[in-house]
Amino acid sequence: ALSSEALVMGAKAGIDPTVMVNVINVGSGRNTATLQKFPQSILPGTFDYGFSTGLMNKDVQLFMQEAKAMGLSLEACDVVAKLWAEAVRKLGFESDFTKIVTLIEDEAGVKVRSAS
């Protein structure tokens, strides 16, 4: 979700999303989202990475339940858990989890896609 927010912000500023991904991937900010998910499923707009939004939400919610049972207050994770729950409500359980970027895009009024 953080990479999605960064790339949406860049797109809103007029930066080509493919250029942004390439720049991020040669620095310390690279991660599985910028190395794999954006190039394979988000930039081309296929949203077919192969894991559902619903299953991601289930995993995140189980993690949060366990954290609570351990007496932990994980504020950043709580925000992420709420975002995934919202994604299931808006996108559906079976949607590909890479579609979460569309929620951020909709708020910003931009799309993070390849020019070609």
User: pLDDT (tens digit, 9 = 90+) per residue, 26-43?
Assistant: 999 999 999 999 999 999
Residue-averaged pLDDT of the chain: 97
pLDDT at 116: 64
Q: Are the beta carbons of 49 and 100 closer than 8 angstroms?
A: no
pLDDT per position as a tens digit, 66-91: 999 999 999 999 999 999 999 999 99
DSSP 15-75: --HHHHHHHHTTSTT--HIIIIIIIIIITTT---SS-BHHHHHHHHHHHHHHHHHTT---H
Quote the pLDDT of residue 77: 96
Q: How large is the average pLDDT for residues 56-62?
A: 98
Residue 32 in contact with residue 51, Cβ under 8 Å? no
